[in-house]
Amino acid sequence: MKKQLLKIVKIGGNVINDEIALFSFLQDFASLDGPKILVHGGGKKATEVSSAMGLQPQMINGRRVTDEATVEVVTMVYAGLLNKKIVAQLQKNNCNAIGLSGADANCILAHKRIVKDIDYGFAGDVDAVNSKFINVLLENDVTPVFCAITHDKEGQLLNTNADTIVSEVAIGMSSLYETELNFVFELKGVLKNIEDKNSVIKQINLEKYKELIDAGIIADGMLPKMHNCFNALEKGVGKVKIGDASLLQSDNKLYTTLSLK
């Protein structure tokens, strides 16, 4: 039997900080038919709040170095302010959303990220997604909204890149649904020339992805994003798209589609 389509969407911190773009996007998201899941970042806001508190935000290869003070700030910003603001806006648009961290209902289990020579502190990599519980929500027409906070089941909250969360959630749900993963950020897609906002590369396969990395065209936050996109495709996610806040509009034709071949 053909599986039902589940749309999984991620919005990044630059869109979240632009209230006009955010509210317009949330209106489009709320009106999507069928089951859907939203994952949000908020890195930009976390950087602003950390700086205002006298901390010195540090990113390495698109990921935040998360010391003890920073994990508290990001929990307040992501799981608190941003998650609840987004849920309230979806409720306004008649989408019955529920805001969750990875600790809630053990939805996203993670472990402390260990990378040779780099200490990311309380940053997490995902081990398991509670697709069974998430499906209970979907089957009751409730839309889960995940922030970038996970847990390790030892009582420790972990800051996890939102692109990683969304791809792991998509992979986890792929056993139950046909999945489509959409990355919404402030640009129209993956650009050939970062100075030219219209130089969108419409189609990127695995081979082209490697060429773009070697050429230095993919950098910064785009590195973990694309890595997560291909990881999702390799593990059963049906379709992956990257674009701006108009990505969910049916008349939008300018975005990047990723494929393995």
Do 89 and 61 touch, CB atoms closer than 8 A? no
Q: Is the dihedral of CA 132, 143, 166, 66 positive or negative?
A: negative
Member of 207, 211, 220, 234 binding ligand ADP (CB under 6 A)? 220
Give, as ranges, the residues between 174 and 213 that touch ligand ADP (CB under 6 A).
185-187, 190-191, 194
Does 124 participate in binding ligand ADP (rule CB under 6 A)?
A: no
Binding-residue pattern over the window 149 to 188 for ligand X2W, x denoting contact by CB under 6 A = ----------xxxx--------------------------
Beta-carbon count within 10 A of 152 CB? 17
42 assigned to a ligand binding site: yes
From ligand X2W, ligand ADP, none, interface partner of 248 (C-beta below 5 to 8 A by class): none
Does 65 participate in binding ligand ADP (rule CB under 6 A)?
A: no
Does 243 participate in binding ligand ADP (rule CB under 6 A)?
A: no
Which residue, 135, 40, 42, 45, is CA-closest to 90?
Answer: 40
Q: Smallest distance, Å, CB 255 to ligand ADP?
A: 12
Identity of the residue, 69 or 219, whose beta carbon is nearer to ligand ADP in the bound complex: 219
Which residue, 155, 182, 161, 158, is CA-closest to 238?
Answer: 182
64 assigned to a ligand binding site: yes
Q: Helix or strand or coil: residue 121?
A: strand
Do 8 and 181 touch, CB atoms closer than 8 A? yes
Among left, alpha and beta (phi > 0; psi -120 to 50; other), residue 189 is left
From ligand ADP, ligand X2W, none, interface partner of 172 (C-beta below 5 to 8 A by class): none
Give, as ranges, the residues between 7 and 36 that touch ligand ADP (CB under 6 A).
12-14
Interface with ligand X2W (CB under 6 A): 12-13, 41-43, 46, 63-64, 66, 74, 123, 148, 159-162, 221
- Which residues are documented as binding site for substrate? 42-43, 64, 159
